[in-house]
Amino acid sequence: MPEIAFVLVEPLYEGNVGFTARVMKNFGFDRLVLVDPCPLGGDARARASHARDVLENARRCSLEDVYREHDFVVATTGEVSKSICTPTRMPYYGPAEVREIVADIDGTVAILFGRENWGLNNSELLRSNLICTIPTSATYPILNLSHAVGILCYELANLPRGTYHLASSVEMEALYAHIDQFLSRIDHPDCKRTTTMTLIRRVLGRTKLTAREASTFHGLMRRAEWHMENKEETINGFPEDTTINDSC
């Protein structure tokens, strides 16, 4: 199964951090990552109960470290886009769908959970491979942080062993950078650049590219760039200004 880390981004309340450690251990997970958390003391330890080891071994790092070190990043959000014309929070998937998507990954997966007061911001969502939302009642849609973690833990528990290695985050960022450069080469309108790159990240992010597949995309673009650099147009493999003798 993939190695799954549950990442709390700037959690505000130590009790929620403790409860998160507890529910993670309930389902067999122990990789807790904290990004700029609130001070943790007795309340966090009390809420963790018999999962104090998960709490005490929690890694503290920057969000940049999370994106760089994990092969696949799932961002959770309670607010989703209503139209495909605003792709920042689209398309989105439920926890059970996320399970199916990450099941065959033989690598590291990070599940991001945002701040209790306003969640994850758009820039944090843009860098993620996949958007996950938990279907809740419109009357009261916002879940407690540890409850949301518990639902994802339940769905992701006991996943089968993965079968292939994904392209690393470094390889994917290199691919996105190449695509961005390619858009410049083909005079893609600047006013559409941000939306286009967001859509490309969404499409490629959820496809779980292997390193070979990412390399193939690079190769295709390099081939196109080579033809753009060689201005001479060709017809059926011959230069446009070459006389072709069709006589027998």
| pLDDT > 90 fraction of the chain, expressed in percent and rounded | 66
DSSP state of 74: E
Res 29: pLDDT: 96
Confidence of residue 233 (pLDDT cuts 50, 70, 90): low
Please tell me the least confidently modeled range out of 42-51, 162-171, 235-244.
235-244
- Please say if the pLDDT value at position 218 is more than 70: yes
Res 229: pLDDT: 86
Res 245: pLDDT: 43
Q: Would you say 173 and 64 are in contact if contact means Cβ atoms under 8 Å apart? A: no
Q: Would you say 75 and 132 are in contact if contact means Cβ atoms under 8 Å apart? A: yes
Backbone angles phi, psi at 236, to 5 degrees: 55, 35
Res 104: pLDDT: 87
Mean pLDDT across the stretch 49-64? Answer: 97
Cα(52)–Cα(48) distance, integer angstroms: 5
- Please say if the pLDDT value at position 236 is more than 70: no
CATH class of 3-156: alpha beta
Q: What is the pTM of this model?
A: 0.70
Confidence of residue 13 (pLDDT cuts 50, 70, 90): very high
Condensed to tens digits (0 to 9), the pLDDT of residues 80-97 reads 545 455 555 557 889 999
Please tell me the least confidently modeled range out of 46-55, 161-170, 236-245.
236-245
* Token pair for 134: 């938990």
Cα(232)–Cα(228) distance, integer angstroms: 9
Condensed to tens digits (0 to 9), the pLDDT of residues 97-123 reads 999 999 988 899 999 999 999 899 988
Cα(45)–Cα(54) distance, integer angstroms: 10
Mean pLDDT across the stretch 149-156? Answer: 96
Confidence of residue 79 (pLDDT cuts 50, 70, 90): low
- Please say if the pLDDT value at position 151 is more than 70: yes
- Please say if the pLDDT value at position 26 is more than 60: yes
Please tell me the least confidently modeled range out of 32-41, 86-95, 206-215.
86-95
